[in-house]
Structure 1
Amino acid sequence: MPLLLDSVLLVLVMYSLYKLRKAHLLMFDFRDQSRLDNANLFRQLEGLHGLYAELDLKTSLPPTRGWAASPDFLLEVARHARTAKPAWVVECSSGTSTLVLARCLQLNGAGKVLSLEHSPQYAEQTRQQLRQHGLQDWAQVLDAPLLPYTLAGESWPWYDISKLPADMQIDMLVIDGPPQDTRTQARYPAGPLLFPRLAAHGAVFLDDAARNDELAILQRWQQEFPLLRQSSRPCEKGCAVLINAP
């Protein structure tokens, strides 16, 4: 009987030690995650402050959390637009990035943003925000419902691009749509449909580039468009940059 009791006590002690160790590991994980969250929050605040300084904004931008592009990504886009001075900017999905790009072109004194938007509600919302910021002359939100395209032997729902000027050369392409739930690798069609229209030294910015879908898309684009130089920027959700370098 004493031997059985000792065995039970030993099991209880071992189990208690196991639970204690697990609790300690969870505490360390929570501490590390908290540090990462705080560092990322600080980075986004830095990005937002940088945007307001870079663009000399007098009124506030719409929210940059949730589905919207993060401040660090918007700052990367803004700095390129201010430096490269693109004549034609095309966006896949409209929103805060439309305002940022339009303001860049206003400061540059030249250029036009054409934003493809499949949601009439979001399209009108972005148009209203452009008017509120006095940027309606620098960006146009195009109603672009998702149409079926056959690419690489598959069917893809993607933006209607019929309203884009037929002879335009795209100096800057910002891809932040369609939504991920549209289908697997939903943003892939931007490559075969728009990359052939990139101007020499034109740049592509892909948001959410840290997601598995976007990583797979980048691999496909690399195979199909080997002349485009790919690189990445350290942004919250991932940022891939492709440069047309003939």
Structure 2
Amino acid sequence: WQEAWKSIRSWMPNLGALPPATGFSIAPDAALHMLRELHARKPEVVMELGAGLSTYLMAALIQQEGLSTKILSIESDMAYLQQVEKELKAKGLDACVQLVHAPLEPIEVEGTTYPWYTLPETLPAIDMLIIDGPPERTGKIARYPAIPVLAGRLTPQALVIADDADRKDVRDCIALWNRNKEWTVQYHPLTREIATLSRHA
């Protein structure tokens, strides 16, 4: 963890104090991997399911590098969303972030009902999708709807980052997403494993 934080702070010397991490926060080495992908790809739109430390770090990098990237951050917990919004504004990092309160409601996907985000009716094309919600406690394979629901908005070159990929429920989601072998899946053995998915070239 310390080496990852050291690398992040060396890269972004003006980062300042970070909001307190929670048990749900992205691990530092996973955050560093995410930031490197953001730097290399320079996506127009990043959509993240689950706001927090990742939002703050991405916004800081976007500002530092003068990128045109916009972050669409989806969060089900209104109190937590307001906390993230307050922290972003306090650091002047809110210009590139659209925070969306999306309560979890039942949604039917392929004949099964899941509690999932109530998304805006219109969504932009997504170049990078970060799946870090809904929380595990909300149900079995709670994150599965992400790809079926959002596949039509993903650009052909889109990168999907799935956090917590060392968890069985997340691995089960990934296996289901890739049951037709449409994706190249890579697992990255970090503090908490992440997986990256990209469509076959």
Aligned partners of 2:163 and 2:194 also within 8 Å: yes
Question: Is the partner of 1:217 in helix, strand or coil?
Answer: helix
Question: Is the partner of 2:178 in helix, strand or coil?
Answer: helix
Match of 1:188 in 2: 144
User: Distance in 1 between the 2:127 and 2:13 partners?
Assistant: 24
Query: Which sections of structure 2, spanning at least 5 residues, go unmatched?
Result: none
Deviations 1:127-164, CA, capped at 9 Å, x for gaps: 0111122111011110111121101211011111125x
Matched, 1:135 2:90: no
Match of 1:32 in 2: none
Note the C-alpha offset of 1:54. Answer: 2.2
Match of 1:200 in 2: 156
RMSD: 1.4
Matched pairs, number: 200
Note the C-alpha offset of 1:222. Answer: 0.8
**AA paired with 1:60?**
A
Runs of 4+ in 1 over 3 A off after TM superposition: none
Aligned partners of 1:64 and 1:71 also within 8 Å: no
Note the C-alpha offset of 1:65. Answer: 5.1
User: Distance in 2 between the 1:52 and 1:160 partners?
Assistant: 35
Match of 1:144 in 2: 102
Question: Is the partner of 2:11 in helix, strand or coil?
Answer: helix
More displaced 10-residue stretch of structure 1: 146-155 or 89-98:
146-155
Matched, 1:124 2:82: yes
User: Distance in 1 between the 2:2 and 2:148 partners?
Assistant: 36
Aligned partners of 1:94 and 1:116 also within 8 Å: yes
Question: Is the partner of 1:236 in helix, strand or coil?
Answer: coil
Match of 1:232 in 2: 187
User: Distance in 1 between the 2:158 and 2:167 partners?
Assistant: 24
Higher strand share: 2
State the TM-score, normalizing by the size of structure 1: 0.77
Note the C-alpha offset of 1:238. Answer: 0.9
Question: Is the partner of 1:223 in helix, strand or coil?
Answer: coil
Note the C-alpha offset of 1:173. Answer: 0.6
Matched, 1:215 2:171: yes
Aligned partners of 2:47 and 2:72 also within 8 Å: yes
Matched, 1:159 2:117: yes
Query: Which sections of structure 1, spanning at least 5 residues, go unmatched?
Result: 1-43
User: Distance in 2 between the 1:235 and 1:64 partners?
Assistant: 17
Identity %: 32
Which structure has the greater CA radius of gyration? 1
Match of 1:87 in 2: 44
Kindly report which structure 2 residues correspond to 1:59-70, keeping only aligned pairs within 5 A, or say none: 59-64=16-21, 66-70=23-27
Kindly report which structure 2 residues correspond to 1:20-59, keeping only aligned pairs within 5 A, or say none: 44-59=1-16
Higher helix share: 1
State the TM-score, normalizing by the size of structure 2: 0.94
**AA paired with 2:23?**
G
